[in-house]
Amino acid sequence: MKVVIAPDTFKECLPAAEVAAAMAVGVRAACPDAEIDLCPMADGGGGTVAAMVAAAGGEVRRARVHGPLGETVRARFGLLGAPGPPTGLPPGAVGGVAVIEMAAASGLHLVPPGRRNPLLTTTYGTGQLIAAALDAGAGEIILGIGGSATVDGGCGAAQALGVRFLDAAGEPCVCGLAGGGLMSVADIDASRRDGRLAADRIRVACDVTNPLTGPNGAAAVYGPQKGATPEMIRQLDAGLAHLADVIRRRLGVDVEHLAGAGAAGGLGAGLVAFCGATLDRGVEIVADAVGLRRRLAGAALVLTGEGSLDAQSLSGKTAVGVARIAAEVGVPVVCIPGQAEAGLDCGGLFAAIRPLVAGGVTVEQALRQAPELLAELAERAARELAAL
């Protein structure tokens, strides 16, 4: 019997690789001869680099880059190795797949609460991480853009990759352009952009649909959590609208109302406009890169899970994404989440949902005893399958 184990990280509890390993203990207890394929998953958020390196092989690299406020930080990215059929590399790509979490360079956690101000923060370090991945020979870059401290429309990242922003006098805008400087952009010169980007594919793991501007845009929706006051939000939104207009006039690309353009303070828009990136569902990107569909061949059962299975999960989080892919080939899926929303209708995607927090188990107990509980529930799922 073949079992594929493909869970996400249980936030503030266990990384995806450890969740998968705990589930495997239970499967082996039930079926010692089972063929177990550990395939830790992610959806582009925190833990994506670790999960993908564990699932697909490869290594973690580190680079010194600029943090959100210009300080030096040591950020990591994953390099998954030589290309092959499971990675989905485009024809002509010469390197492996690099996996980057923008939060490693430009994340909110890198800015102390008292200094959070998206008028001052930049994605310049994220651009440096992209450049480091290119230097490492990446032929495809997967970029998770959750947890940002920035609302700079991706201009900082673009500068690190050679794009020049000019003011009304034709002079270069300040290096490390931040949200507060967007109104100064009068022209865009992409002639010096890193030439390697033309041959590479950047896939952005983006699970939000917010446009760049307006009441549902980057500044209005995500600005407050990054330290923006109401006045800052108005200034940032105006700056993003101005930037979108310059992009439209100078580059011929309309990103203002593109679904997902507002992700990570407009980094989604910037990567599309300045780097030719595509915005895709994170779990689909990860599934392609780790070859999940190929690994499901011949499987009798899939085990997945995430910290909380709730209404947000239905928009494309890991557990639901894995179940939808497994449904394509008719493999049953059992979901073992930390918690599950009562009465949640998953449309029959799961053969069973077995949360850790159930039957008298409290949240505190689940956090403390997660490996044991995961093993117990995985063992039950495997025994039930074997008895059929």
Looking at residue 90, its pLDDT comes to: 41
One domain for residues 85 and 171:
yes
Residue 27, both tokens? 């499967």
Q: Which amino acid is at 282?
A: G
Confirm whether 285 is domain-assigned: no
> If you average pLDDT over every residue of the chain, what do you get?
93
Kindly report each contact of residues 352-355 with a partner whose C-beta sits within 8 Å and lies 24 or more positions away, as own/partner: 352/381, 352/384, 353/309, 354/380, 354/381, 355/309
| Distance, CA of 193 to chain centre | 24
Share of the chain above pLDDT 90, in %: 87
One domain for residues 76 and 118:
yes
Task: Find the helix or strand (DSSP H, E) in which 383 lies.
Answer: helix 370-387
Confirm whether 189 is domain-assigned: yes
Task: Answer whether residue 199 shows pLDDT above 80.
Answer: no
Looking at residue 57, its pLDDT comes to: 86
One domain for residues 309 and 268:
no
Query: In which band, very low, low, confident or very high, does the pLDDT at 315 lie, cut at 50, 70 and 90?
Result: confident
Residue 370, both tokens? 């997660």
CATH number of 17's domain:
3.40.50.10350
pTM above 0.85, yes or no: yes
Q: 85: burial class by Cβ within 10 Å (0-12, 13-18, 19+)?
A: exposed
Domain containing residue 142: 48-280
Average pLDDT value for residue range 19-41: 97
Looking at residue 88, its pLDDT comes to: 43
Query: In which band, very low, low, confident or very high, does the pLDDT at 309 lie, cut at 50, 70 and 90?
Result: very high
Confirm whether 240 is domain-assigned: yes
One domain for residues 312 and 216:
no
Number of domains in the chain: 2
One domain for residues 122 and 267:
yes
Task: Answer whether residue 92 shows pLDDT above 70.
Answer: no
One domain for residues 98 and 194:
yes
300 φ, ψ (degrees, to nearest 5): -100, -20
One domain for residues 359 and 252:
no
CATH number of 159's domain:
3.90.1510.10
Nearest to 3 by CA among 333, 359, 355: 333
One domain for residues 22 and 62:
no
Share of the chain above pLDDT 70, in %: 96
DSSP E strands, the chain: 2-5, 35-38, 59-66, 72-79, 97-101, 140-144, 164-166, 187-189, 201-205, 278-280, 301-304, 308-309, 333-335, 339-340, 352-353
pLDDT digits (tens, 9 = 90+) for 344-363: 999 999 999 999 999 999 99
Rounded Cα distance between 50 and 46, Å, is 9
Rounded Cα distance between 164 and 173, Å, is 8
Looking at residue 46, its pLDDT comes to: 85
Query: In which band, very low, low, confident or very high, does the pLDDT at 169 lie, cut at 50, 70 and 90?
Result: very high
Looking at residue 359, its pLDDT comes to: 92
Q: 321: burial class by Cβ within 10 Å (0-12, 13-18, 19+)?
A: buried
Q: Which amino acid is at 58?
A: G
Confirm whether 287 is domain-assigned: no
pLDDT digits (tens, 9 = 90+) for 139-158: 999 999 989 999 999 999 99
One domain for residues 99 and 218:
yes
One domain for residues 18 and 134:
no
